[in-house]
Structure 1
Amino acid sequence: MKVFITGGSGFIGSHLADRLLARGDEVIVIDNFATGRRDNLKAHPKLKIVEDSICNEKLMHQLMQEFKPDLVVHAAASYKDPNNWVEDALTNVMGTAIVCQAMAKANVKRIIYFQTALCYGLKPVEQPVTLNHPILPRGSSYAISKTAAEDYVQLSGLDFVTFRLANAYGPRNISGPLPTFFKRLTTNQKCFVMDTRRDFVYIDDMIDCIMHAVDGKGNGTYHISSGSDVSIKELFDAINKALNMDLVVEVKPRQPDDVFSILLDPSRTENEFGWKAHVPLVEGVSKTIQYYKEHGIEETFTHLKVK
Structure 2
Amino acid sequence: MNVLLTGGYGCIGSWITAQLLARGDAVWIFDLKEDPRRLRMVLPEEQVRRVRFVQGDVTDLENLTRTIKREEISHVIHLAGLQVPVCRANPILGAKVNVVGTLAVFEAVRLAGPQVQRLVYASSAAVFGPPEKYPQGSLSDDVPLIPSTHYGAFKVCNEENARVYFQDFGLSSIGLRPWTVYGVGRDFGMTSEPTKAIKSVVLGRKYHISYGGWQDLQYVEDVAATFVRCLDRPYSGAKSYNLRGQVVDLATFHRELVSVAPEAKQLVTFGDRQIAIAYDLDDSALQRDLGPMPRTSLGEGIRKTLEHFRRLQREGNLDTADLDAAKAPVVRADET
- The reply to whether TM is greater than 0.5 is yes
Secondary structure of the structure 1 residue equivalent to 2:53? strand
Q: Which residue is equivalent to 1:263?
A: 280
- Equivalent-residue separation in structure 2 for 1:261 and 1:145 (angstroms): 17
Q: How does 1:1-307 map to 2 (within 5 A)?
A: 1-32=1-32, 38-40=37-39, 42=45, 44=47, 46-79=50-83, 81=86, 82-107=88-113, 108-123=116-131, 124-126=133-135, 127-137=137-147, 139-157=148-166, 158-174=171-187, 175=189, 176=191, 177-182=193-198, 186=203, 188-189=205-206, 191=208, 196-219=213-236, 220-226=239-245, 228-245=246-263, 247=265, 253-254=272-273, 258=275, 262-293=279-310, 294=312, 295-299=318-322, 302=328, 304=330
**Stretches of structure 2 lacking an aligned partner (at least 5 in a row):** 313-317
Superposition CA RMSD, Å? 2.9
How far does residue 162 in structure 1 lie from its aligned partner after superposition? 1.0
How far does residue 142 in structure 1 lie from its aligned partner after superposition? 1.1
Distance change in 2, residues 1:239/1:221 (3 Å)? same
Secondary structure of the structure 1 residue equivalent to 2:28? strand
Greater displacement, 97-106 / 287-296: 287-296
- Whether the 8 Å contact between 2:194 and 2:209 is mirrored in structure 1 is no
- Equivalent-residue separation in structure 1 for 2:204 and 2:93 (angstroms): 31
How far does residue 275 in structure 1 lie from its aligned partner after superposition? 1.5
Secondary structure of the structure 2 residue equivalent to 1:106? helix
- Whether the 8 Å contact between 1:254 and 1:260 is mirrored in structure 2 is no
How far does residue 277 in structure 1 lie from its aligned partner after superposition? 3.6
Superposed CA deviations along residues 173-195 of structure 1, whole A, max 9, x for unmatched, are 12423134246665744626755
How far does residue 51 in structure 1 lie from its aligned partner after superposition? 3.3
Distance change in 2, residues 1:221/1:125 (3 Å)? same
Point out the structure with the larger helix share.
Answer: 2
- Whether the 8 Å contact between 1:6 and 1:31 is mirrored in structure 2 is yes
Secondary structure of the structure 1 residue equivalent to 2:265? coil
- Equivalent-residue separation in structure 1 for 2:23 and 2:97 (angstroms): 30
Secondary structure of the structure 2 residue equivalent to 1:54? coil
- Whether the 8 Å contact between 1:171 and 1:292 is mirrored in structure 2 is yes
How far does residue 56 in structure 1 lie from its aligned partner after superposition? 2.6
Superposed CA deviations along residues 7-31 of structure 1, whole A, max 9, x for unmatched, are 1111111111111111111111112
Distance change in 2, residues 1:231/1:244 (3 Å)? same
Report the number of matched residues. Answer: 302
Identity %: 21
Distance change in 2, residues 1:121/1:46 (3 Å)? same
- Equivalent-residue separation in structure 1 for 2:62 and 2:22 (angstroms): 31
Distance change in 2, residues 1:271/1:189 (3 Å)? same
Distance change in 2, residues 1:25/1:160 (3 Å)? same
Which residue identity lines up with residue 130 of structure 2 in the other structure?
Answer: L
- Equivalent-residue separation in structure 2 for 1:259 and 1:4 (angstroms): 33
- Whether the 8 Å contact between 1:194 and 1:253 is mirrored in structure 2 is yes
- Equivalent-residue separation in structure 2 for 1:260 and 1:131 (angstroms): 14
Superposed CA deviations along residues 73-126 of structure 1, whole A, max 9, x for unmatched, are 111111152312122111101111111111111223521011111101133413
- Equivalent-residue separation in structure 1 for 2:276 and 2:37 (angstroms): 36
- Whether the 8 Å contact between 1:225 and 1:266 is mirrored in structure 2 is yes
- Whether the 8 Å contact between 1:142 and 1:303 is mirrored in structure 2 is no
Distance change in 2, residues 1:89/1:303 (3 Å)? farther
Distance change in 2, residues 1:291/1:152 (3 Å)? same
